Amino acid sequence: MFVLSFLARRLLQGFVIIFLVMFLIFTLLRVVPGDPVRLMAGGMAPEALIEQIATQMGLRDPILVQFGRYAAHVVQGDFGQSFVRPADGAATGGAAFNDASRSERAEVLTLVAQTAPRTFQLALTAILMALLISLPLGVAGGLYPGRWPDRLALYLGSIFVSLPNFWLGIVLILLLSVKLAWLPAIGYQGFAWTILPAFVLAIEMAPFMIRTLTVSVAQVMQEYFIAAGPVRGLSRSRVVLRHGLKNASVPLLNLLGVQFSMLLGGVLVVEYIFDYPGLGLLTINAVLQRDFPLIQGIAIITSAAFVLINIAVDLLATTIDPRLDY
Amino acid sequence: MASVDPALMGKLAMAPDRGRSLTRRVWAEAFRQPEFKIGLVVFLILFLLACFYPELSSIDPLKMNVRGRLLPPLFLGPNWSFTNPLGTDQLGRDMLLRCLVGLRYSFLIGVSTVIVMLLIGCTIGMVAGYKGGWISTILMRLTDAQLSIPMIILAIAILGVSRPTIPAIVLVLGLAGWPTYARVTRSVVMAESRKEFVRGAKVLGASDIRIMALLLAPLVLPPIVFVSVLDIARMMIFESILGFIGLGVQPPTPTFGNLIADGRKYLLNAWWIATMPGIFLCVTLTSVNLMGAALERARNRIFGGLA
Amino acid sequence: MEAPLLGVQGLNVDLALQSGRTRPILRDISFELPAKRTLGLIGASGAGKTVLAKALVNWIEQPLHITGGTIAWRGKDLLGDRQGFGRLRGSKIAYVGGNPAGTLDPTQTVGAQIVEKLLSVQPRTSRREAIEKAVDLLAAVRIPSPSQRFHEYPYQYSGGMMQRALIVDALISDPELLVADNVTQPLDVTVAAQILKLMRELTERFATAVVFVSSSLPVVADIADELLVLHEGRIVERQATRRLVSHPIHAYTQALIGELPTIWQGHGPAERPRGQTTEPLLSVSEVSKTYKVRKRDSFAGYNHVQAVRRANFDIFKGDNFGVVGESGCGKSSLMRLLTRLEPPDTGRIVFDGQDLATCGGSALQKLRRRLQLVLQDPFSSLPPRSPIGAIIEEPLRIHGLGGAKERRRQVRDVMGEVGLDATLIDELPAGLSAGQRQRVNVARAMILEPALLIMDETLSSLDQTEQTKLLNLFERLQAQHGFTYLFISHDLAMVRRVCSRIAVMYLGEIVELAANERLFFDPGHPYTKALLSAVPTLEERRYRPEDCLLEGEPPSPIDLPPGCSFASRCPSAFDRCRSQHPGLTARSSHDLAACFLVEPPRVAARETAGA
């Protein structure tokens, strides 16, 4: 019963969030200067033609009308078609704009479905790597505040957070891929191509995890029940492992939920550097080409993913700590 | 039965120096940590270099020098020279100078962005936290929405079409980043306004604005400002990402982003052009982050884990 | 001769200060405890009694250090064998502290943790045996439906219930010594009385020796065979309990006993005589407040918490009116309504001829000047960043009274009146003691020359000496300024001493309203009687807890049962009480109680009963 009512409430909230995202992105794209039709048709296209296409596409209607039309389609699961990408995959150049080919443009949903699994693989690998790095550092730092594990966590965290992801990507490509030829880097032909970009992302996420863990572990260790455990007759290691770490894991879980958007931002840059054909690369290209339907579609789908991930995180957190009530 | 939290009483009773301002104690506590000192020294050196070296040096960062093209940094290859300690780029421009000028822009943008975020975020968060109700609800949903799409998308989408001038970059990054501040401020204000002294002020008849400005702001803002030091570094990274994609301050003005983007093309035969600005940026940010982390710890110790 | 169960010889404990120096906490502590005996340990806060209790369970941590002496278990030194000491903990030596809510891991069920403990110290027990034993003991400490409660989490337990569970946790391994450190301190009096009774029963049943630590002499005297008095880290007196109470030897013990407030001796302040025509200063009629709290396990459901239910009373000028009740009885909600931090749902609060409930804007602002609140917690009630002078001046600024100089002068005057040194005017409150902080609060409240001062648990965080000083101050200020006081408190002894008229609240309801003398000596409501019976005192008790209080705790203010809300705990409840709700019934012209057993007033001579 609890789970059902929780889900119902959170999903409802989630719809509000998704709707807000949809609305914000939609208006933002249309308020900001830059005419997508001009980009599609190329600089050479006559003004009249552009107006004609724009009117045909409904881009000259009032924004609210456009939004209503779009929202109605989205509700039915129709995210529209890309402005620029043909159904076969590669992006079209703007100069060869040709009205007849409009019908063969790629479905936004198809484009996302093609790229999302690779990004998912990248993100999951990155999170696992980040946990691998930050768990030992953070826990040790939290258990011995002020001592060397804590200092190590602090220094490493400060250095990691100072590494610009794109630069780290370039340097790693140069070193590990070009000079030493240990790992492939550019493009995607298999899991090996995921490792380097995932590592860059892991380094980007790790400092936040380390900090959260250090703080939460240190805080839990101050709790009365940690000190009282040995007095009740439990061994110290049992208290730390079974009770301390369990309590300290909730903030880390919550961080994972919040870090989602940071991960996405990182994915954009990293996929761009590594030419990794995922959602991030798709997004960057969509933005640079002013491919409105694609940007909107990606934004809505990522915010839905954000909502779902956070519901999952909170659900998991309540099973760990039953006091929590979201 | 006694309603006073004994831990709190203990903490307050143990506070060693009576009456000294909390903010000053945070600084003092931070200064005691070696991390803070290391960060401060490195940062000061870089800061002073950025302020004075370009003026004092005889070289113009924009001036090309075809004969001195692609010189490697000190000791790291043939033909290095002391005049160009970090080497030169494909047009013979001095890398050290270009990095220092880049640092100026980066820092300027980082600091102003954080100020914009603080101003917007703290004001809205304060009102939402104190007033609660629908303002708070709207704020929470708005920040949720904003959290769910990476701010870099927003920035790219806007800067991709408008000309990326410094004010535009600051505004875009600031607008994208304020919700976090609003959230933090809101939660702290919510906790603080449940305290008795706020209740007391209400019974005395103090107006809401008075309570927010005179009672809550001096309590809530300093800890948040301490954390914002860490955000300066984050914003500097964002600025460099924008520059790298080509949406930052435009060349020929050197920024870390466009320096690295430039160098990427010469990665194989002149690795330093892309690498040096990165190391330079990383060292700068590490020094800022070390100070920030030390400040945050000091704050946690003094304010007792507020926020 | 056989070695005693526990022997402490010349124990010294020091506190290492940041400056590198050390401060002595315990000095030359020596005592012996034979098996099956109960030793009481009494001392003021800061006397080192908790440190001593912790030393007995090897819980001395940085920056504290044991610098000398021995602790012996059946003649065997423990301090030289810390591992052996560690093994005794939980198995032979058990500890129950004053922080029931924080002792168990909040993320695991109470039952699982009790079983975990038993299995840790007695690995040969099977899990099923352990569970059975735990459930049995939970039943023995009268936790309702124990096999179900076994699977609940700590946050689902109330404070009293948690303390019972911790007693189970301590005694489940059949220890020979139980160290009970301030176990009743966080609990309400009626609950504390139950816990004490339980501890007596159980330690007798299991033949456990007890070291019982408390800062309340009456509580310790109730349970211990023998008492140790700790003063500034040293044992200053040791005597059998009864002898110590009647013939204290050391000056400190004498002072300690001397300053204990008495309840049953002497007279409380009498009500001022008033004519028929006097208008009350504050008149509360039919005031109710219900809070909506979101239901945990539901989509959009709310629970309705009835915090204040149809409160009626009048306060006359110059009165000392008291509102007493245990935690959760609604007295804080009532305070929020009276100070108009929140409006009531229904009813009228007429102050100075105007209804606080409906008035707003500048009229409300005017009323606020005449009605002030002195807050409860001396630490969170002062804004930490403002100098003391500015804090006291603030009300004048808010109401735009006087020029800067004039205000400053007034601040100095008021500080002098409440006994604050004038040199403090530019200091921050950080360095002040609790008593000084409460003086700042009083000064801030009285600078506007209000007619009514509401004291919300103002004295509960202060020690006896400081309380007495402040009460004297209140009296003086009342004489000079003609204040009327409304004391909201859980402390019956304090109320007995200062209030002329007292309202007793239970579950949001005023169950009795009477003059001081009548309330204490002829209570009309069984709850009042129960409350009075549970107050720890050295005096001869007028009411025995055994007769006045059945087990159980107040029901939740959500979903209140029909009928009398006290019926579930009332020893004299009968059928009617469970179906019908007794309203406040007059027992005499002034005194009222909400009970079906109240006899209607007969003759005027009854008025003097008990006086």
- ipTM, 2 decimals? 0.81
Closest-CA residue of B relative to A265 is B150
Q: Where are the domains of chain A?
A: 2-108, 111-320
Fold entry, domain A111-320: MetI-like fold (1.10.3720)
More confidently predicted of C465 and A204: A204
pLDDT for the residue numbered A47: 81
The whole-angstrom distance between A218's CA and the closest CA on chain C is 16
Segments in chain B forming alpha helices (H):
6-14, 22-31, 34-56, 95-131, 133-148, 151-159, 166-193, 196-204, 208-210, 217-245, 256-264, 272-303
Is C288 in CB contact (< 8 Å) with chain B? no
Domains of chain B: 13-57+85-306 (1.10.3720.10)
pLDDT for the residue numbered C181: 92
Render pLDDT for A19-58 as a digit per residue (tens, 0 to 9): 988 888 888 888 776 677 776 776 677 888 888 888 887 7
Mean pLDDT score of chain B, rounded to an integer? Answer: 79
pLDDT for the residue numbered B172: 87
Check if the beta carbon of residue A278 is closer than 8 Å to that of residue A271. yes
- Please give the average per-residue pLDDT across A214-232, as a whole number: 91
C 12-51 residues with CB < 8 A to A:
none
Closest-CA residue of B relative to C490 is B1
Check if the beta carbon of residue A36 is closer than 8 Å to that of residue A59. yes
Among A207-221, B36-50, B286-300, C591-605, the range scoring the smallest mean pLDDT is C591-605
Is A246 in CB contact (< 8 Å) with chain C? yes
The whole-angstrom distance between C362's CA and the closest CA on chain A is 40
Measured CA angle at C377 (ends C372, C378), to 5 deg: 90
Res. C463: pLDDT tops 90: no
Strand partners, C593: C512, C585
A-C C-beta contacts closer than 8 Å: 75
* Nearest residue, CB atoms, C398 vs list B18, B195, B210: B210
d(CA C493, CA C218): 12
Residue whose pair of structure tokens reads 């050391």 in the numeric block:
C250
> Is residue C16 very low, low, confident or very high in pLDDT (cuts 50, 70, 90)?
confident
pLDDT for the residue numbered C298: 63
Q: C86, A231: Cβ pair inside 8 Å?
A: no
Q: B203, C457: Cβ pair inside 8 Å?
A: no
Q: C460, B2: Cβ pair inside 8 Å?
A: yes
Domains of chain C: 6-258 (3.40.50.300), 284-361+451-593 (3.40.50.300)
Enter the DSSP assignment of A185.
Answer: -
Buried b (16+ CB within 10 A) or exposed e, C569-601: bbeebeeebeeebbebbebbeebbbbbeebeee
d(CA A321, CA A247): 7
Q: How far is CA C9 from the centre of its chain?
A: 35
Is C423 in CB contact (< 8 Å) with chain B? no
Residue B241 has which token pair?
């990402």
Strand partners, C68: C12
Q: Helix (H, G, I), strand (E, B), or coil: what is residue A52?
A: helix
Is B8 in CB contact (< 8 Å) with chain C? yes
Is C103 in CB contact (< 8 Å) with chain A? yes
Cis peptide before C383 (omega within 30 of 0): no
Res. B86: pLDDT tops 80: no
Tally DSSP H helices, then E strands, for chain A.
Answer: 13, 2
Render pLDDT for A101-131 as a digit per residue (tens, 0 to 9): 445 778 889 999 999 999 999 999 999 999 9
Check if the beta carbon of residue C161 is closer than 8 Å to that of residue C189. no
Is B28 in CB contact (< 8 Å) with chain C? no
pLDDT for the residue numbered B215: 84
CA distances to A35, A40, C502 from A53, in Å: 12, 10, 84
Kindly compute the dihedral angle of the four CA atoms of residues C431, C433, C438, C439, in this order, to the nearest 10 degrees: -80
Q: Which strands make up the sheet holding C22-33, listed edge to edge?
A: C22-33, C6-16, C64-73, C76-77
Chains in contact with B, where contact requires at least 3 CB pairs less than 8 Å apart: A, C
Res. A97: pLDDT tops 60: no
d(CA C263, CA C497): 8
Q: C377, B1: Cβ pair inside 8 Å?
A: no
More confidently predicted of C300 and C500: C500
Measured CA angle at A37 (ends A34, A39), to 5 deg: 65
CA distances to A297, B141, C234, C342 from A17, in Å: 15, 6, 64, 33
Strand partners, C210: C38, C178
A 193-222 residues with CB < 8 A to B:
211, 215, 219
pLDDT for the residue numbered B66: 67
pLDDT for the residue numbered B28: 84
d(CA C509, CA C502): 14
CA distances to A65, C513, C585 from C592, in Å: 69, 5, 5
Res. A254: pLDDT tops 60: yes
The residue of A166, A178, A261 whose CB has the most chain B CBs within 10 angstroms, and thus the best one to mutate to test that interface, is A166
Round to the nearest angstrom and report the end-to-end CA distance of chain C.
56
> Is residue B22 very low, low, confident or very high in pLDDT (cuts 50, 70, 90)?
low
Q: C383, B2: Cβ pair inside 8 Å?
A: no
Res. B306: pLDDT tops 60: no
Q: B4, C430: Cβ pair inside 8 Å?
A: no
Is A157 in CB contact (< 8 Å) with chain B? yes
Buried b (16+ CB within 10 A) or exposed e, C508-539: bbbbbbbbbbbbbebbbbbbbbbbbbbbbbee
> Is residue A209 very low, low, confident or very high in pLDDT (cuts 50, 70, 90)?
very high
Render pLDDT for B116-168 as a digit per residue (tens, 0 to 9): 999 989 998 898 888 888 888 887 788 877 777 777 777 777 787 677 888 88
The whole-angstrom distance between B124's CA and the closest CA on chain C is 22
Contacts of C427 in chain B (CB under 8 A): 18-19
* Nearest residue, CB atoms, B148 vs list A161, A283, A307: A307
Residue A258 has which token pair?
């919040």
Res. C550: pLDDT tops 70: no
Segments in C419-555 forming alpha helices (H):
434-446, 464-481, 492-498, 516-521, 526-534, 545-548
Is A116 in CB contact (< 8 Å) with chain B? no
Res. B15: pLDDT tops 50: no
Check if the beta carbon of residue C274 is closer than 8 Å to that of residue C284. no
Render pLDDT for B91-112 as a digit per residue (tens, 0 to 9): 778 888 888 888 999 999 999 9
Res. C201: pLDDT tops 70: yes
* Nearest residue, CB atoms, A233 vs list C103, C117, C296: C117
Among B147-156, B298-307, C176-185, C579-588, the range scoring the smallest mean pLDDT is B298-307
* Nearest residue, CB atoms, C102 vs list A8, A223, A230: A223
The whole-angstrom distance between B79's CA and the closest CA on chain C is 57
Contacts of A260 in chain B (CB under 8 A): 147-148
Q: C86, A230: Cβ pair inside 8 Å?
A: yes
The residue of A7, A147, A226, A231 whose CB has the most chain C CBs within 10 angstroms, and thus the best one to mutate to test that interface, is A231
β-bridge pairing C346-351 and C282-294: antiparallel
pLDDT for the residue numbered C536: 85
Mean pLDDT score of chain C, rounded to an integer? Answer: 87
The whole-angstrom distance between C249's CA and the closest CA on chain A is 36
Strand partners, C64: C15
Is A253 in CB contact (< 8 Å) with chain C? no
Res. B61: pLDDT tops 60: yes
Q: A323, C155: Cβ pair inside 8 Å?
A: yes
The whole-angstrom distance between C77's CA and the closest CA on chain B is 33
More confidently predicted of A152 and C606: A152
Q: C296, A232: Cβ pair inside 8 Å?
A: no
CA distances to A186, B39, C47 from B288, in Å: 33, 6, 47
Q: B148, A167: Cβ pair inside 8 Å?
A: no
pLDDT for the residue numbered A54: 81
* Nearest residue, CB atoms, A219 vs list B233, B289, B305: B305
- Please give the average per-residue pLDDT across C219-244, as a whole number: 92
Q: Kind and range of the H or E element at C487?
A: strand C484-489
Contacts of C115 in chain A (CB under 8 A): none
B 196-255 residues with CB < 8 A to C:
196-197, 199-207, 210, 215, 218-219
Q: C341, B203: Cβ pair inside 8 Å?
A: yes
d(CA C225, CA C68): 28
d(CA B77, CA B84): 13
Chains in contact with C, where contact requires at least 3 CB pairs less than 8 Å apart: A, B
Q: B18, C431: Cβ pair inside 8 Å?
A: yes
Check if the beta carbon of residue C9 is closer than 8 Å to that of residue C30. yes
Among B25-29, B138-142, C270-274, C433-437, the range scoring the smallest mean pLDDT is C270-274
CA gyration radius for chain C? 26
Q: B204, C457: Cβ pair inside 8 Å?
A: no
Q: C89, A230: Cβ pair inside 8 Å?
A: yes
Contacts of B146 in chain A (CB under 8 A): 24
Is C59 in CB contact (< 8 Å) with chain A? yes
More confidently predicted of C46 and B36: B36
Segments in C21-150 forming alpha helices (H):
49-55, 82-88, 100-103, 110-121, 127-140, 146-149
Q: A154, B244: Cβ pair inside 8 Å?
A: no
Q: C153, A8: Cβ pair inside 8 Å?
A: no
Render pLDDT for C355-386 as a digit per residue (tens, 0 to 9): 988 887 888 888 888 999 888 777 778 877 78
Res. C132: pLDDT tops 70: yes
Measured CA angle at C345 (ends C340, C350), to 5 deg: 50
Residue C298 has which token pair?
């539901």
* Nearest residue, CB atoms, C121 vs list A1, A233, A323: A233
pLDDT for the residue numbered C415: 93
Is A124 in CB contact (< 8 Å) with chain C? no
Strand partners, C14: C24, C65
Check if the beta carbon of residue C209 is closer than 8 Å to that of residue C202. no
